[in-house]
């Protein structure tokens, strides 16, 4: 095991992705370990956003069809660029909406309670907004929240896929699960769960917010019915950037549950008919006009993924998180830091999750020391060394900053409660 900072620098010198660090704006005098919450801004994002503003300035309304990235087709263009990241065909992916809007749309489309099949299956560890949306969809269909079945965790950190499969009973109409758990970073076996759901004639979809851009996927071949995600975490699309949606081609032609202006087939949209002719692919799942200025940064960010390739991104991500966990075990075990994410590669996403009773104040001390972590109530610290812009030296410095904070009681000067945004 290599424990010195010089060893970390040597690993950085051998890093095949090291040139991409210069593509990002890294806040001054910080080690940024919060890319699983908000990815950093790329210099290309800045350039593409300016080019969109220039198109508005120079073309006016003709920007919808003129310029390098005509606005009328920008959602389809971004869908094509995201498709390889999730193992999908181009026409199965569209950039649109936001995570929760897209889940509402997909649930409105695929949740059709009938007879005994009235329940939605989810889990207790999912991000709250997904559960809010599913409960709202139940109410819209005339059901109370007792029809939402949530599979529990046996240890409070991870889900047992056998428990999920056991909950796929004949009264379940729809399943919505995370691909990667937002706290522990556990990867669920999407292929296995999809196969089991379909064997029971149940539609299944996944929230990819914490996996897209962090791990490879193969959604088309796995037969996943649908998926949705944000683009501001590992994809570095910027705060409030446009969301993404996957619809397996076997569902092309289905009537969108929340139809709107941009659900139309492109060649029919301006016919102004009051009967919708939906697009014959994932494009039918757009609702309103694309958010052009929030889409622009994503163009530049996705360029970098295409240059580097997901295999290289995943390889370095695993190396960084392996190294971080070994350092935590070596340097911080004496201070009660408990690693609560999976250690196996096939089960671990792009971040490390540790717990400590003083986590909130520890995170505040880290920020004071120039390390940006992510606190999750009540006692979780998420650390995301991102392949494009974090280094092995960053990891070394983060762990040793943590050790200094614990050894010298620096965290004690802060209240052990979360900030408004954490």
In tens, the pLDDT along 31-66 reads: 999 999 999 999 999 999 999 999 999 999 999 999
Q: By the 8 A CB rule, do 62 and 252 touch?
A: no
- Lookup result for tokens 């050894």: 407
Number of CB atoms found within 10 A of residue 21's CB: 18
pLDDT at 3: 84
207 has catalytic annotation: yes
Instruction: Name the active-site residue from 382, 389, 394, 403.
Output: 382
Contacts 24+ apart (CB under 8 A), 14-18: 15/316, 15/391, 15/392, 16/312, 16/316, 17/308, 17/312, 17/313, 17/316, 17/387, 17/388, 18/391
Pairing relation of β-strands 203-207 and 226-229?
parallel
On the question of pLDDT at 421 being above 80, the answer is no
On the question of pLDDT at 265 being above 80, the answer is yes
DSSP code string of 217-262: --HHHHT--EEEE-SSSTT---TT---EEEE-GGGTTPPPTT--GG
Q: Is 232 annotated as a binding residue?
A: yes
Q: For the residues 113-120, what does the mean pLDDT come to?
A: 97
pLDDT at 252: 98
Share of the chain above pLDDT 90, in %: 97
Q: Is 48 annotated as a binding residue?
A: no
Output the six-digit token pair for 103. 């889940």
Q: Is 99 annotated as a binding residue?
A: yes
pLDDT at 417: 86
Q: Is 210 annotated as a binding residue?
A: yes
Q: Is 303 annotated as a binding residue?
A: no
pLDDT at 2: 63
Backbone angles phi and psi of 346, in degrees to 5:
-70, -10
Cα 208 to Cα 53: distance, rounded to the nearest angstrom: 30
On the question of pLDDT at 9 being above 60, the answer is yes
233 has catalytic annotation: yes
Instruction: Name the active-site residue from 59, 73, 77, 127.
Output: 127
Cα 168 to Cα 42: distance, rounded to the nearest angstrom: 42
User: CA nearest 168: which of 206, 215, 200, 131?
Assistant: 200
Output the six-digit token pair for 317. 């991500």
Q: Is 132 annotated as a binding residue?
A: no
Q: Is 130 annotated as a binding residue?
A: yes
pLDDT at 419: 82
Instruction: Name the active-site residue from 233, 316, 361, 364.
Output: 233
Q: Is 128 annotated as a binding residue?
A: yes
The SS3 call for residue 346 is helix
pLDDT at 420: 65
Q: Is 393 annotated as a binding residue?
A: no
Q: Is 228 annotated as a binding residue?
A: no
Cα 390 to Cα 387: distance, rounded to the nearest angstrom: 6
Cα 308 to Cα 313: distance, rounded to the nearest angstrom: 7
The SS3 call for residue 288 is coil
Instruction: Name the active-site residue from 123, 207, 225, 394.
Output: 207
Q: 142: buried, middle or exposed (CB in 10 Å: 19+, 13-18, 0-12)?
A: exposed
| Residue range 313-346, pLDDT digits in tens | 999 999 999 999 999 999 999 999 999 999 999 9
Instruction: Name the active-site residue from 232, 305, 388, 392.
Output: 232
3-state secondary structure 290-316: CCHHHHHHHHHHHHHHHHHCHHHHHHH
127 has catalytic annotation: yes
Indicate the average pLDDT of the chain: 96
More confident residue, 38 or 418: 38
Pairing relation of β-strands 338-339 and 352-355?
antiparallel
Q: Is 207 annotated as a binding residue?
A: yes
Backbone angles phi and psi of 382, in degrees to 5:
-100, 135
Q: Which residue(s) pair with 114 in the sheet? A: 117
Cα 19 to Cα 150: distance, rounded to the nearest angstrom: 44
Q: By the 8 A CB rule, do 333 and 178 touch?
A: no
User: Is the peptide bond between 378 and the residue preceding it cis, with omega within 30 degrees of 0?
Assistant: yes
Q: Which residue(s) pair with 204 in the sheet? A: 175
The SS3 call for residue 58 is helix
Cα 251 to Cα 231: distance, rounded to the nearest angstrom: 24
Domains and CATH numbers, the chain: 5-32+310-413 (3.90.1150.10), 47-307 (3.40.640.10)
């Amino acid at each position: 095991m290599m424990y010195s900072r010089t060893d970390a620098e040597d690993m950085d010198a051998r890093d095949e992705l090291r040139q991409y660090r210069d593509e990002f704006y890294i806040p001054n005098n910080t080690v940024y370990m919060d890319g699983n919450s908000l990815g950093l801004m790329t210099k290309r994002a800045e350039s593409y956003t300016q080019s969109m503003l220039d198109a508005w300035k120079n073309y006016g309304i003709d920007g919808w069809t003129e310029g390098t990235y005509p606005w009328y087709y920008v959602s389809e263009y971004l869908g094509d660029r995201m498709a390889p990241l999730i193992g999908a065909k181009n026409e199965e992916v569209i950039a649109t909406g936001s995570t929760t809007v897209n889940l509402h749309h997909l649930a409105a489309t695929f949740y059709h309670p009938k007879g005994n099949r009235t329940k939605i299956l989810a889990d207790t560890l999912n991000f709250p907004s997904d559960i809010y949306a599913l409960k709202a969809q139940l109410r819209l269909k005339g059901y109370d929240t007792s029809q939402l079945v949530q599979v529990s965790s046996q240890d409070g950190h991870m889900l047992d896929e056998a428990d999920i499969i056991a909950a796929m009973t004949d009264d379940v109409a729809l399943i919505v699960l995370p691909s990667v758990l937002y706290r522990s970073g556990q990867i669920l076996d999407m292929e296995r769960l999809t196969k089991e759901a379909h064997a029971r004639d149940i539609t299944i979809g996944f929230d990819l917010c914490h996996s897209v851009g962090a791990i490879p996927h193969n959604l088309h071949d796995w037969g996943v019915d649908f998926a949705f995600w944000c683009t501001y975490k590992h994809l570095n699309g910027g705060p409030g950037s446009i969301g993404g949606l996957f619809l397996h081609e076997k569902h092309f032609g289905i009537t969108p549950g929340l139809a709107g202006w941009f659900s139309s087939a492109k060649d029919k949209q301006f016919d102004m008919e009051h009967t919708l002719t939906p697009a014959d692919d994932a494009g039918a799942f757009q609702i309103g006009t694309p958010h052009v200025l929030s889409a622009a940064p994503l163009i530049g960010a996705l360029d970098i993924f295409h240059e580097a390739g997901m295999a290289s991104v995943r390889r370095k991500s695993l190396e960084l998180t392996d190294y971080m966990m070994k350092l935590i075990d070596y340097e911080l075990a004496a201070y009660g830091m408990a690693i609560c994410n999976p250690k196996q590669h096939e089960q671990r996403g792009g971040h490390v999750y540790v717990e400590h009773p003083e986590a909130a104040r520890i995170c505040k001390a880290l920020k004071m020391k120039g390390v940006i972590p992510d606190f999750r109530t009540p006692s979780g610290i998420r650390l995301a060394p991102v392949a494009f812009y974090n280094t092995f030296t960053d990891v070394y410095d983060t762990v040793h900053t943590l050790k200094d904070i614990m050894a010298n009681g620096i965290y004690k000067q802060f209240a052990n409660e979360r900030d408004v945004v954490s």
